[in-house]
Structure 1
Amino acid sequence: MKVAIIGGGAVGMLVAAYFNKANINSVIYTRRREQAQFLHEKGLELIKNGMTTTSKVMALPFSEGLLEDADFIFITVKQYDLDPILDYLKKNKIKIPIVFLQNGMSHTLMISDLYSESIYLGIVEHGVLKQSDNCVIHTGEGRLKIANYSGEPGKIIAISDALNSIGFPIIIEENWYEILAGKLVVNAVINPLTTLYGIRNGGLLENDFYFLNMRSVFLEVIQALALTNIDNLWNDVISICQNTGSNYSTMYKDIEQGRKTEIQSIIGYILEEGEKRMVPMPRLMFLYNSIKGMEAKGKEERND
């Protein structure tokens, strides 16, 4: 079994590290040639519970294209980096099974015309932090949840069995929309609020006023997406806040480090869906404009 992992960020390196533990050959395709060379020369470091393991890994810049011997493709880049990858897959009529692991749901509108014989959509529930170009910290145990989007659904089983056998669980779900929508709700509530307030995830539960805003945003998201399992979704938001209470959200870290956020693929997508249903969304619009403003401010400061 050989897997191509497109994306040298936190999720891509985490998945590659556990593929290696499961004796699945993988190649990491990075945006920058320098990162590919560094990974190839120094190896991939995984830090978990204070212990560091280093494994040899093959890494190549994506600009050189994919090797032809992959049995599966895992795409782990953020949604705003998907366009050139999708263009490559379509231009070359790639038929290899693909797994998409992104936050948000905008990518579900972009993949229907791919040539892949099987497409899967998934979410990552692990806590993970990119320490350097060749080092990733596994900060919290979680699961990968994956569901079939199109094509033959059973092709993922071999990978699932291999990763489950080493304690890196993959849960195969029936309904891709439900798992993506559930993660979208969590991200839409936690990420922008913690970024705006400058707090760790758990801070939303520790301040009564923040908690009220958290609940208000949650209800607006539910209405915009016309979701019905309100109690379960709210419990998921609370549970993730508790389990990741000492962590900063990825959106917070993006703003802190002057990177582009995923606000468009998270809140932007919900705003578009809500507009279709003529749902008023003042809180979500406020959050969207606030984070976009923080992005713009950070960009201006970097250019000074």
Structure 2
Amino acid sequence: MKIGIIGGGSIGLLLAHYLTEHHEVRVYVRSKKQMDKMAAEGLFFEKKKKLINETINVSLFSSWSAEEELIIVAVKQYQLPSVLEKFRESNRLKNCTLLFLQNGMGHLKLLNELNAKTIAVGTTEHGANKIKDNHVIHTGDGLINLSVYRGNNVSELAELLAMPIRNFPFKFQEDWNEMLLQKLIVNAVINPLTAVLNVKNGMLLKNTHFNYLFKEYFKELSTILNISNKEKTFRHLEDICRKTSENRSSMLKDLDEHRPTEIDAILGFVLEMAKEKQLDAPFSENYYHLIKGKEYEGGKN
């Protein structure tokens, strides 16, 4: 199957490495510098201190023309508007299946106007760190969950699920809302906490004081998001934290590199829900403003 991956970040490069084994993959990036580096040197994939160098098809996103059967969108949520604008310009989108792998749930309303055959959403539980434009480290194994958001032609998703990839499983979920809520909890707890505290994910379990905040913040979020099975969800949250213990969260890496974060997509959505339900959200409000403050300070440097 022809697969286009839009986004040359850590998850985009991780997908490129694993999917190339069974599919014809092309990565679309924004930067000519990244494209030239990947074209000249290939992709360096690292796991457990083993390094693999492989050839990857790469193009600028500006040249994308909807030639693939499956398009995986692996950009940050705040980068989506320009991607969707390009999608709307295409008259071939109706022949494509789109899979969106963004954090949070704020992007769903943006997908409703797209004229694609099938729109799917997904969540990733892998830990990954891009250390150069063409070098990604797989820091933690996990799942990629998929669910159909709109449409009923799932042949491309079925083909993706039908070819198991070692250490990179895909799992189909019937309920897209429940799937995204479970990931939202993970993002809303781990990302802001690690970014404010400037620690790797595993420290939220190892440090007694950080772990107290971890547990108390989960209680607040599970009430706002109306999580039915709190115990099971909390165990899942701990499991993700454990599996990605050596990972620096995407929000922490964004702050390190003075980039915008996805705080609006993650906690902005949570605060909207809290307001609608007339619930207090002291942890969410505090972490939201702490991250926005760090963004502001980073932007001045």
TM-score band w.r.t. shorter chain? over 0.9
1:83 is matched with 81
1:63 is matched with 62
Determine the C-alpha separation between the residues in 2 that align with 1:35 and 1:192. Answer: 28
Assess if the C-alpha contact under 8 Å between 2:7 and 2:73 holds in 1: yes
Secondary structure at 1:105's aligned position in 2? coil
Determine the C-alpha separation between the residues in 1 that align with 2:220 and 2:82. Answer: 33
**Matched AA of 2:55:** K
Gaps spanning 5+ residues in structure 2: where?
none
**How far did residue 68 of structure 1 move?**
4.2
Assess if the C-alpha contact under 8 Å between 2:99 and 2:119 holds in 1: yes
1:144 is matched with 144
Assess if the C-alpha contact under 8 Å between 1:101 and 1:123 holds in 2: yes
1:27 is matched with 26
**How far did residue 202 of structure 1 move?**
2.0
Gaps spanning 5+ residues in structure 1: where?
none
Determine the C-alpha separation between the residues in 2 that align with 1:83 and 1:227. Answer: 30
Determine the C-alpha separation between the residues in 2 that align with 1:185 and 1:77. Answer: 20
**How far did residue 282 of structure 1 move?**
1.4
Determine the C-alpha separation between the residues in 2 that align with 1:97 and 1:37. Answer: 28
**How far did residue 252 of structure 1 move?**
1.4
1:112 is matched with 112
Determine the C-alpha separation between the residues in 1 that align with 2:282 and 2:247. Answer: 28
TM-score normalized by the length of structure 1 = 0.94
**Matched AA of 2:224:** A
Assess if the C-alpha contact under 8 Å between 2:125 and 2:240 holds in 1: no
**How far did residue 165 of structure 1 move?**
4.3
Stretch deviating more after TM superposition (113-122 or 224-233): 224-233
**Matched AA of 1:8:** G
Determine the C-alpha separation between the residues in 1 that align with 2:41 and 2:245. Answer: 33
Q: How many residues align?
A: 298
What's the Cα RMSD here?
Answer: 1.4
2:90 is matched with 92
Q: Deviations over 1:212-255 (max 9, x none)?
A: 22222112111222221211111111222222223222211211
TM-score normalized by the length of structure 2 = 0.95
**Matched AA of 1:48:** K
Shift in alpha-carbon separation, 1:41–1:175, aligned structure 2, 3 A: same
1:154 is matched with 154
Determine the C-alpha separation between the residues in 2 that align with 1:267 and 1:109. Answer: 16
Determine the C-alpha separation between the residues in 2 that align with 1:58 and 1:202. Answer: 35
Q: Deviations over 1:63-83 (max 9, x none)?
A: 23x234311100000100000
**How far did residue 264 of structure 1 move?**
0.9
Assess if the C-alpha contact under 8 Å between 2:128 and 2:247 holds in 1: no
Assess if the C-alpha contact under 8 Å between 1:104 and 1:265 holds in 2: yes
Stretch deviating more after TM superposition (98-107 or 252-261): 252-261
Assess if the C-alpha contact under 8 Å between 1:105 and 1:269 holds in 2: yes
Q: Does 1:289 align with 2:293?
A: no
Determine the C-alpha separation between the residues in 1 that align with 2:258 and 2:76. Answer: 15
Assess if the C-alpha contact under 8 Å between 2:126 and 2:143 holds in 1: yes
**How far did residue 269 of structure 1 move?**
0.9
Determine the C-alpha separation between the residues in 2 that align with 1:168 and 1:196. Answer: 30
**Matched AA of 2:61:** F
Q: Deviations over 1:81-139 (max 9, x none)?
A: 00011111123241210000111111112101111111110011111111211111111
**How far did residue 196 of structure 1 move?**
1.2
Secondary structure at 1:45's aligned position in 2? strand
Determine the C-alpha separation between the residues in 2 that align with 1:71 and 1:5. Answer: 11
